[in-house]
């Protein structure tokens, strides 16, 4: 396993994802040393099927507008099922409304519900720069472990500008529209600690070819 493989979360989160789709992603992760990001309903199966793979799943996905109580219950249950890390979608409606304390508290409740690292998805393509700064600052104050650029379901994807901005607050997982090694490399260079992509296998293959 090389360092780049361990920094890629091979992802399958589409609305028609099947157990077979998840096993296929896990097979690649087992072979290559990548992490995996799978839907909540498949976490238990994933943890049993691929005990050597670090499994991430999502909380409050995809819009972050579940109640805080539901998010905390979900987080605790997913860790019990075997999740190693959680990617929580922030409630951008609260941020847009200026309810900063409630926005921070919503994140803090999930963080407090588990000892696992929590990445906060801020859906950066939907935010103005001042909102990105506020979201990042509040997530840091809530003791989040990472910021994540996007769910991948909103228009726009990860950009080097967003990674540079967010990484001044917390480590960053860049996600959204990353389908080539060239793009992933630029995001790593901009400061991303992790990459989340459904094209993880292709990205890693191109990276390894570039080194041989």
In the predicted model, what is the mean pLDDT of residues 76-98?
98
**Alpha carbons 58 and 151: distance in angstroms, whole number:** 9
Task: Give me the pLDDT at residue 86, please.
Answer: 98
Mean pLDDT over all residues of the chain?
A: 97
The stretches of the chain forming alpha helices (DSSP H) are 3-6, 19-32, 43-49, 68-81, 92-96, 100-112, 129-141, 160-166, 181-190, 200-210
Q: 3-210 in CATH: which number?
A: 3.20.20.70
Q: What pLDDT, on the 0 to 100 scale, is given for residue 53?
A: 98
pLDDT score recorded for residue 2: 65
Q: Does this model's pTM top 0.85?
A: yes
Q: Report, as residue numbers or ranges, the catalytic residues.
A: 87, 148, 173
Given a contact cutoff of 8 angstroms between Cβ atoms, the answer to whether 178 and 203 are in contact is: yes
pLDDT of 1 strictly over 80: no
pLDDT digits (tens, 9 = 90+) for 154-201: 888 899 999 999 999 999 999 999 999 999 999 999 999 999 999 999
Give domain limits for the chain: 3-210
Q: Is 112 in a helix, a strand, or coil?
A: helix
State pLDDT tens for residues 9-61.
Answer: 999 999 999 999 999 999 999 999 999 999 999 999 999 999 999 999 999 99
Cis-peptide, bond into residue 150, ω within 30° of zero: no
According to DSSP, residue 201 is labeled H
Question: Which distant-in-sequence residues (6+ apart) come within 8 Å of 27 by Cβ?
Answer: 50
The pLDDT-based confidence of 118 (bands split at 50, 70, 90) is very high
């Amino acid at each position: 396993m090389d360092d780049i493989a361990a920094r890629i979360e091979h992802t399958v989160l589409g609305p028609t994802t099947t157990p077979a789709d998840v096993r296929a992603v896990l097979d690649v992760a087992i072979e290559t040393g990548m992490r995996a990001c799978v839907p909540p309903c498949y976490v238990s199966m994933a943890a049993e099927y691929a005990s050597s793979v670090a499994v991430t799943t999502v909380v409050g996905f995809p819009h972050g507008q579940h109640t805080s109580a539901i998010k905390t219950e979900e987080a605790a249950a997913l860790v019990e099922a075997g999740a190693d890390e959680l990617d929580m979608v922030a409630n951008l409606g609260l941020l847009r409304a200026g309810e900063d304390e409630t926005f921070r508290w919503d994140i803090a409740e999930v963080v407090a519900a588990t000892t696992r690292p929590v990445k906060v998805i801020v859906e950066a393509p939907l935010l103005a720069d001042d909102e990105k700064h506020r979201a990042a600052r509040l997530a840091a104050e809530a003791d989040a472990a990472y910021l994540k650029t996007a769910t991948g379901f909103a228009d726009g994807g990860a950009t080097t500008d967003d990674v540079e901005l967010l990484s001044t607050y917390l480590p960053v997982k860049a996600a959204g529209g990353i389908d080539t090694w060239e793009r992933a490399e630029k995001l790593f260079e901009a400061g991303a600690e992790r990459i989340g992509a459904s094209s993880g296998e292709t990205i890693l293959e191109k990276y390894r070819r570039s080194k041989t």
